Structure 1
């Protein structure tokens, strides 16, 4: 008795090519994701990270000097008026009067230049200024306070909506 084996149908000949097509789609999607990842945020926050790393002990000393001052900064965001307010206090909790304050807003997940914020002294230890945000979301506030030759720098992350 002889068993007849049917000839290859058209559908069977395409099955290996379906596997090739499936792998090609996976490779194309992964390649696109890699392209977007490499072309977006680099992950570097400072312009010269190597130099900062080489002078790390200087950075630690500056942070310790800042901590010995005992100054405190309490930022508040007023979304209804797009207003940033800072309350500055010294070690004892008294208002830090006569300080000069500079603030830059940095978007941590995007390559865009920092936004400078012009702050004016409102009253004892309080400074405020208007900010035109190009986008809502997480922002790093790079705050520098100077008074009587002392310099206090701090970065705080805030969600500005």
Structure 2
């Protein structure tokens, strides 16, 4: 009987094998859960044809240099959210002088996915202020990409991250 009790408390190869299999089983299960959650919340790349955009990067830099020489500035002055709708107000200026008679168009989208992308059309409020009504404006982060154009055909691209209250 004494021999049987001493064998019962020993760590054997079978015990070690079961512990190793259990450890890696738990690790595998945790990885599967986290990978599924990651893929479900962010389905993949949201930028179409990124390789071709990279090939034309020098063209984008040249456009930015032209815009820089214009001396225009843009500032988001007000972001208001009322339920599911809202509005965005932007101030446009050149050398501290308000720019009027601009045509502003753009898109508002969520950073992580394109399900809620929506077009923006700005109306002039005067004195360099432009306002756009937003139909579906949930709380959180939004990326705004706009293009302002004057009567001479000069354009200015604006990109801004907006946090809706």
Task: Give the equivalent residue in structure 2 for 1:153.
Answer: 157
Deviations 1:58-81 (A, max 9, x none): 010011111111111111212357
**Whole-angstrom CA distance in 1 between matches of 2:42 and 2:102:** 35
2:96 counterpart residue number: 93
Q: Which residue in 2 is equivalent to 1:23?
A: 24
Q: 2:3 matched to which residue of 1? A: 4
Moved more, 52-61 or 17-26: 17-26
Count residues in correspondence. Answer: 157
Given the two structures, how large is their TM-score scaled by the length of structure 1?
0.82
Partners of 2:59 and 2:39 in 1: CA distance: 32
Aligned equivalents of 1:39, 1:157: Cα separation in 2: 24
Work out the CA distance in 2 between the residues paired with 1:85 and 1:134. 14
The answer for unaligned runs of 5 or more in structure 1 is none
Residue 82 of structure 1 corresponds to which residue in structure 2?
Answer: 86
Stretch of structure 1 that moved more, 112-121 or 70-79: 112-121
Of Structure 1 and Structure 2, the greater strand share is in 2
TM normalised by structure 2 equals: 0.81
Structure 1 vs Structure 2 CA RMSD: 2.6
Q: What residue ranges of structure 2 are gaps of 5+ in the alignment?
A: none
Give the CA deviation at 1:5.
Answer: 4.0
